[in-house]
Amino acid sequence: MITLDELEEKCREFEKIEGRASFYDLALEIKEIYPLQASIIILATWNVGRFRFFASNSKNLIDLKTILNSCKPLFNNLKDKDFRTTNFDKIANEIKNIYSILSKVKGVEFTGASKIFHLFCPKLIVMWDSYIRNEYKKKKYEKRYGIRIKWNTPEDFLNFQKLMQKIFGHIDWNDEGKTLPKAIDEYNYVMFTLPKIKSHKIK
């Protein structure tokens, strides 16, 4: 079982090694007044591989703006829900709907959708990327927790939230400057994403 000390340790490691953290804070600060600009900050810094496709066509910007406007009521319904205590089955349709809508924008797609979703619901949603997905797709998690993640569909994204709740939901997180879902993302990044990035650079 992952402890509070372990989670805090990985968050400290993240803060030491990751220079883009301030861009996340900036996006949080402006998201209510400038949701499109905040989303672009997140995509440009934390979804770099796909952002070049987003930036290649101004239609993608228009699509994202339209989608953010349509999703605003949905975000508002979920933004105050707490990751630890929420029954994800009861909000399954909302989770899958938002993720599906966001992931259809070129250059946003699956990783970007999770990051934008988290931006507007930071107390509820844990982000993912391809490295994190590949880790939690392993059979050992399904065997232990009874939750299966196959790929990157809306159902998989919902199951990922359930799995993160199973693994981390017992932790009594009281950092007012960082939500538990963000702390979990930092843990996953340090544990799974960063080692893969380093191994690719070595090759």
pLDDT score recorded for residue 165? 98
Amino acid, single-letter form, for residue 114 = S
Handedness of CA 19, 21, 25, 26 (dihedral sign): positive
Report how far residue 139's alpha carbon sits from residue 150's, in angstroms, rounded to the nearest whole number.
10
Amino acid, single-letter form, for residue 85 = T
Report how far residue 63's alpha carbon sits from residue 92's, in angstroms, rounded to the nearest whole number.
24
Residue range 46-57: mean pLDDT, rounded: 85
Handedness of CA 191, 79, 104, 151 (dihedral sign): positive
Q: pLDDT tens digit string along 165-201?
A: 999 999 999 998 999 999 999 999 999 999 988 776 6
Give the predicted TM-score (pTM) of the model: 0.95
Structural domain boundaries of the chain?
A: 4-202
Asked if the model's pLDDT at residue 79 lies above 60, the reply is: yes
> Token pair of 86, please?
């929420």
Asked if the model's pLDDT at residue 202 lies above 60, the reply is: no
Q: How confident is the model at residue 42 (pLDDT cuts 50, 70, 90)?
A: very high
Contact between residue 15 and residue 185 where contact means Cβ atoms under 8 Å apart: no
Amino acid, single-letter form, for residue 77 = N
pLDDT score recorded for residue 181? 98
Asked if the model's pLDDT at residue 203 lies above 60, the reply is: no
Q: Please give the mean pLDDT across all residues of the chain.
A: 94
pLDDT score recorded for residue 55? 87
> Token pair of 150, please?
């196959």
Report in angstroms the alpha-carbon separations of 15 from 6, 50, 187, 190: 14, 24, 11, 10
Which residue intervals of the chain are DSSP H helices?
4-17, 21-30, 35-46, 48-54, 58-78, 92-103, 109-120, 130-136, 139-145, 154-168, 180-188, 194-202
